[in-house]
Chain A
């Protein structure tokens, strides 16, 4: 299999004959024509009311998110284990004060409650790339 350095950098794409010869006149004509005669179809009710629609959508998303946080299925049914303490029946207890049976019957591990999806290294790097996190940002956190 070839390596990148072995592949020609010559342009593999081509254009129809004469394309660049009349490119200037076509582009200048279109640009000036478009500005002088803007398409009235582009001005729609939705476009004019866009900011109000966005504001309404933001409020709706916040309302749904708020409902989901406080009414997440199973939230009231199981207690949650954290690394520092255990919450049983809404009481925070030190892990040394609780017996094994209570632990097994009443508490689920955080990892089971919030299962972590598998993320490959490439997925992580692509995510960092898309979020424009630089290597220097990462070094600062270490």
Chain B
């Protein structure tokens, strides 16, 4: 049985309430997924709102036999990658470490509470190509299964496994050698 069948039933009878239930169930999860990619709270907030605007617009075309979870994550991932792409274009300096990300924004490091080791880990993750960063975050922090990730990123599970293991090696090299 589809775990979101209650949402689909409510969307059929009362679309507004169904959408509200969907936001309530997935809002926080999607926020943190987006935040780990874009790093800044303000950007994550904007991106999350854009994600749900896109979801609302495309709900009529969504087939209830598919997984709502992977569909939402796919939209959120694409919006987050668009946000960081836009940030790169708008910035005159290279944004390839946490410090430069914080320097490029008004909020700075106000919403980052990590210790030095966690900051180094975030710097290591920032060095990865964007798609590989997403793969690493989804596997390492959210422990998503490769089969689900494959639907989110439209990439074979085998390629994702290779990408994740390669990402881990690069991160470990960075942590050991700086």
Contact = CB atoms under 8 A, between A and B. Distances in A.
Interface of A: 1-4, 6-16, 19-20, 23-24, 26-28, 30-32, 34-35, 122, 125-126, 129-130, 132-136
Given A15-B41, A24-B27, A28-B23, 8 more contacts: A7-B121, A15-B111, A24-B24, A27-B49, A30-B52, A32-B56, A35-B53, A125-B166
Contact of B163 (A10, A19, A23, A129): A129
B105 interface: no
Contacts of A130: 129, 131
Given A129-B163, A129-B166, A14 B111 contact: yes
Contact of A3 (B159, B176, B178): B176
Interface residues of B, number: 52
Nearest to A138: B162
A132 B159 contact: yes
B27 A20 contact: yes
Contact of A12 (B27, B112, B155, B177): B112
A122 B112 contact: no
Given A7-B118, A27-B27, A28-B16, A13 B52 contact: no
B156 interface: yes
A4 B174 CA distance: 10
B113 interface: yes
Contact of A13 (B35, B121, B172): B35
A32 B48 CA distance: 14
